Structure 1
Amino acid sequence: MTDSVVLLPRALRSELKEPLGPIFTDTERLLESAGSPLVAVGDVVTYHLESVGVTPDVALVDGLTKRDTVEPEIRDAVSDDARHVPVENPAGVLTHDLLSALVGAIAAPEATVLVVDGEEDLAALPAVLAVPEGGSVVYGQPNEGMVLVQVTSAVKEQVADLLSQMDGDTERLFSLVDDGRNS
């Protein structure tokens, strides 16, 4: 059994459809604005970054896109040079396993791929809190492109507010991602 920290309530789902930053369809243009460290959430986003020669500092992949298995070309684009860490994270939740692995991967000196058994979609939110200001989180916006979140204190506050509306142990969540809040 996985150690779920928070669960996405149905009422919050519509709010999460709003992108946290600009949407790009051109990977190189996105990278012109991206900071470091760079966290990629999703197989297709990771594929697009790798296809222009950029290995994200942290990538989260689950082998799926829009609930379907990704094409072998996308799956095979994930860097073999990066450290691969398996994590469990069912759909609609954030687990201790994913959160602690994410924080460890951001702090690691080498590129890391978190291979998620379950779903990685919600990981963009805690990634914004865990990434230092000036870094970037990139995630997919279905049927539109890639969202670039440039991590600032204002974006961290916005994401912390969203996460505080989750069901479960939000204090534990904030403690795990160590976002500097006094919760």
Structure 2
Amino acid sequence: MLKSPLGKLCKGNGTECVEAMRDELQGAKKVAAIGDMTAFYLLKSSIVPDLAVVDNKTKRAQLPDHILQSLEHNSYKRVEVKNPPATLTEELIDQIKDSLAGKERVKIVVEGEEDLATLPAILYAPPGSVVIYGQPDEGSVLVKATPEMKMYIDELMKKMIVEE
């Protein structure tokens, strides 16, 4: 179910996609970037996301040093959480929720994997916000945090297995 883009797919490389999305990004209440390369290309294009969720990897490979350094933007409060692959821990969900409700910019560094963080980011982003994530080997996806999308994500998350 999660292989298909949840929003508008922009095909191309990172900076091309950011330029194609620029109007929607600048008009958004908040911008959440899920994934290291997504956050990197936004920052490279002078757009600082309100929330960046990263794991210091791309396609499960370690990031080059210049990208890691670019992600160390000085406006971020840095928070570290554990989140195993193919999982959404309560800690990660709560941190995303709190970050999007707050006023400061937050970078959540995930030990494990951040791929599913898109779901709670959409669910908890204030209306009028956007969530950007990478679609591997295709481009970037922009999801508007509309009431309809939030309801869809809420129903989707309720179908996920909850482990204690």
Q: Do both proteins adopt the same fold according to a TM-score greater than 0.5, normalized to the shorter chain? A: yes
**1:32 is paired with a residue of what secondary structure?**
helix
Unaligned stretches of 5+ in structure 2? none
| RMSD across aligned positions (CA) | 1.5
Tell me if 1:33 matches 2:62.
no
Give the Cα–Cα distance (whole angstroms) in 2 for the partners of residues 31 and 86 of structure 1: 29
Q: Is 1:101 matched with 2:95?
A: yes
> Which residue, out of 125, 137, 144, partners 2:138?
144
Q: CA deviation at 1:46?
A: 0.2
- Aligned equivalents of 2:80 and 2:135: distance in 1? 24
Runs ≥4 residues deviating over 6 A: none
Alignment of 1:14-163 (within 5 A): 15-24=1-10, 25=12, 26=16, 27-34=18-25, 35-78=28-71, 79-163=73-157
Measure, in 1, the Cα distance between the counterparts of 2:153 and 2:97. 16
* Structure 1 unaligned regions, length at least 5: 1-14, 170-183
How far, CA to CA, are the matches of 1:120 and 1:102 in structure 2?
A: 11
- Provide the rounded CA distance (Å) in 2 between the counterparts of 1:31 and 1:45: 14
Q: Give, in whole Å, the separation in 2 of the partners of 1:105 and 1:158.
A: 21
Cα distance in structure 1, aligned partners of 2:128 and 2:75: 25
Distance of 1:86 and 1:103 partners within structure 2:
15
CA distance in 2, matches of 1:103, 1:92: 19
What amino acid is the match of 1:165?
A: K
How many residues end up aligned between the 2 structures?
156
| SS of residue paired to 2:88 | strand
- Equivalent position amino acid for 1:30 in 2: M
The one-letter code sitting in structure 2 at the alignment partner of 1:36 is K
Deviations 1:22-49 (A, max 9, x none): 1223212212113121100000000000
1:119 and 1:152 map into 2 onto residues whose CA distance is 26
| SS at structure 2 position matched to 1:91 | coil
Q: Residue type of the partner of 2:96? A: L
Partners in 1 of 2:131 and 2:110 — Cα distance?
17
For residues 126-146 of structure 1, the C-alpha deviation after alignment (integer angstroms, 9 at most, x for no partner) is: 111101111011011000111
What is the distance in 2 between the residues matched to 1:150 and 1:114?
Answer: 21
Give aligned-pair identity as a percent: 36
SS at match of 2:128: coil
